[in-house]
Amino acid sequence: MSEQARRTDAQSPPADLRGALAAAATRLTEAGVPSAWADAQALAAHALGVSRAELARRIVLGGPAPDGLPDLVARRAAREPLQHITGRAAFRRLDLQVGPGVFIPRPETEVVAGIAIEEARASAHPVVVDLCTGSGAIALAVADEVPAARVVAVEMDPAAHAWAARNVAATGGRVDLRLGDVGDRRLTGDLDGVVDVVVANPPYIPPDGTPVDLEVSLHDPPLALYGGGDDGLSVPRQVVATARRLLRPGGLLVMEHAETQAEAARALVTGTGWADVRTVIDLAGRPRALVARHADPAVHG
């Protein structure tokens, strides 16, 4: 074999699936992508149009490499989010549609959704409101896992609202999706004092904060990241104020925050009107969410 032929052969992607996956994982690792092997498998499954289980079967059988995998790997190596490439994001039991213009739901938010779900299950006919819904992940998880619930979701960004609308339509339309600001009483005034659970994953990054992951800083919409004000808590403050208006006596607020904001978040619900205030730790052991119970039946004005 000539030197030119050897160079051409070395540059050619592996023809078999197992070799293509190994090459993809190596490239993603060199690019600093976390979970390189898992991402390589997800990209290969997407390129083949098969499930991960079917991909595993084809690996064992020694199937061929899928066409287009190197291009997908190149996009991921450039730190384009995996979910933008595949167009899907897993969230609890759901498979959501996502893409540019909407915040990609994170595993840590599944803990927040879980608290809302458990609280909703304690009522016969619960009313749950998801503020700053984004893709609709939390609202749709509640609707999926608590069939008796009436679920309302609010999103102010038209681009994110459009993604949420796609997901609501794809999952049976059981969520009442509303476009507007969380603090606008005209949007949710019909729910004053009757809501069992208000749950939210609002934007909360302070203005001088920079997301560590390139996938977040380069691709998630700033409106979904930065909470406003010097501390990033302007939107969370609006969430708390709206929750106080919406919740029935004894109703529960569950709101995600940054791991450095636990004390500041608890300070938002001190004083009259709140009880049983606590911080929830996520699966990684980090302070992740504020939980508080509405204790003042007189405050709905």
Among candidates 155, 197, 157, which has minimal Cα distance to 176? 155
Among candidates 157, 152, 128, which has minimal Cα distance to 226? 157
Q: What are phi and psi of 257, to 5 degrees?
A: -150, 175
CA 155/CA 153 separation, integer angstroms:
7
Residue 265: what pLDDT? 95
CA 268/CA 32 separation, integer angstroms:
38
Q: What are phi and psi of 288, to 5 degrees?
A: -125, -30
Rounded to 5 degrees, what angle do the CA atoms 287, 291, 296 make? 150
Domain spanning 101-294: CATH superfamily: Vaccinia Virus protein VP39 (3.40.50.150)
Whether the pTM exceeds 0.85: the reply is: yes
Domain ranges of the chain: 3-78, 101-294
Question: Do residues 268 and 233 lie in contact, with contact meaning Cβ atoms separated by under 8 Å?
Answer: yes
| Bridge partners for 294 per DSSP | 274
Spell out the per-residue pLDDT of the chain, length 301, in tens: 444 444 334 456 677 899 999 999 999 999 999 899 999 999 999 999 999 899 999 988 888 889 899 999 999 999 999 999 999 999 999 999 999 999 999 999 999 999 999 999 999 999 999 999 999 999 999 999 999 999 999 999 999 999 999 999 999 889 999 999 999 999 999 999 999 999 999 998 888 777 777 778 778 888 888 777 888 899 999 999 999 999 999 999 999 999 999 999 999 998 889 999 999 999 899 999 999 999 965 544 4
The position carrying tokens 């893709």 is: 135
* Cα distance from N-terminal residue to C-terminal residue, the chain: 83
CA 106/CA 103 separation, integer angstroms:
9
